[in-house]
């Protein structure tokens, strides 16, 4: 146990426990013949402003909450991409072909295990795109796992954070949150939970070690 006031670590998966998401998407686009500019345009159209109140059903948000099934999302994405480039994009298995290019960040996995070994509770909090998580790498790693599509909530919604705190039996100010998206960090901070915006391992290691007042190398 550390001497810090923190008793729990909440951590994201994509972009934190994996390598850089943009690099993975770029590899997928190259391998699948996807026009990366067209994909970016679709994501900007669908995602809009994360901080705004949703006025319509957002396909990405609906997928992450489990309100839209993966095949239907793939069909809509393929249609949008095909319309932009004038070439038919195969929808079946579109996301699975993307996930093949995700690389596990074993240094970050090791960091989470070292935090847990020091007596802190650990939780995975991830917005899912219907992907299959590498649970074989997580044996004994998390006390709690919260996957958006399983619970019908998504980051940065306040309710998914409160659900995670409840499962952990901890208050927001007893937890540290690591995520690669700034709007998610801001959402956690608004509830009183300090956050670390993950960019690369060494910086996150240093910031987390300082917060926990512990040598986590």
Q: What is the DSSP secondary structure assignment for residue 29, as one 8-state letter?
A: H
Buried-state track 55-74, b at ≥16 Cβ within 10 A, e below 16: eeebbbbbbbbbebebeebb
Cα–Cα distance between 209 and 49 in angstroms, integer?
Answer: 33
- Summarised one tens digit per residue, pLDDT across range 82-121 is 999 888 989 999 999 999 999 999 999 999 999 999 999 9
What pLDDT, on a 0 to 100 scale, did the predictor assign at position 57? 67
Average pLDDT over residues 112-137: 92
What pLDDT, on a 0 to 100 scale, did the predictor assign at position 138? 84
Structural domains of the chain, with CATH: 8-19+103-212 (3.40.50.1000), 21-99 (1.10.150)
Identify any residues that bridge with 124 across adjacent strands, giving them in sequence order: 11, 145
Average pLDDT over residues 58-79: 94
Mean residue pLDDT of the chain comes to: 92
Number of residues that this document lists for the chain:
217
Is 54's pLDDT higher than 60?
Answer: no
pTM of the model: 0.92
Three-state DSSP at 10 gives strand
Average pLDDT over residues 190-205: 98
Cα–Cα distance between 115 and 121 in angstroms, integer?
Answer: 8
Of all residues in the chain, what percent carry a pLDDT higher than 70?
Answer: 95
What pLDDT, on a 0 to 100 scale, did the predictor assign at position 14? 94
Residue 53's pLDDT band (cuts 50, 70, 90): very low
What pLDDT, on a 0 to 100 scale, did the predictor assign at position 107? 96
- Summarised one tens digit per residue, pLDDT across range 147-158 is 999 999 999 999
Is 179's pLDDT higher than 60?
Answer: yes
More confident residue, 91 or 138: 91
Residue 55's pLDDT band (cuts 50, 70, 90): very low
Identify any residues that bridge with 146 across adjacent strands, giving them in sequence order: 125
Average pLDDT over residues 182-205: 97
Average pLDDT over residues 46-51: 67
């Amino acid at each position: 146990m550390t001497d810090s006031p923190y008793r729990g670590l909440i951590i994201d998966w994509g972009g934190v426990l994996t390598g850089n998401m943009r690099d993975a998407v770029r590899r997928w686009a190259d391998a699948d013949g996807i026009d990366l500019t067209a994909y970016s345009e679709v994501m900007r159209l669908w995602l809009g402003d994360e901080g705004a109140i949703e006025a319509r059903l957002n396909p990405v948000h609906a997928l992450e909450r489990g309100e839209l099934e993966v095949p239907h999302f793939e069909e809509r994405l393929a249609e949008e991409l095909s319309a932009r480039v004038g070439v038919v994009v195969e929808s079946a298995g579109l996301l699975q072909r993307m996930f093949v290019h995700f690389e596990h960040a074993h240094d970050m996995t090791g960091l989470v295990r070292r935090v847990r070994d020091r007596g802190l509770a650990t939780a995975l909090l991830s917005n899912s795109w219907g992907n299959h998580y590498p649970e074989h790498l997580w044996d004994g790693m998390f006390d709690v796992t919260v996957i958006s599509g399983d619970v019908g909530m998504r980051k940065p919604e306040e309710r998914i954070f409160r659900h995670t705190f409840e499962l952990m039996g901890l208050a927001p100010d007893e937890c540290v949150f690591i995520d690669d998206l700034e709007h998610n960090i801001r959402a956690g901070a608004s509830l009183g939970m300090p956050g670390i915006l993950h960019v690369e391992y060494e910086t996150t290691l240093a910031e987390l070690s300082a917060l926990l007042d512990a040598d986590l190398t």
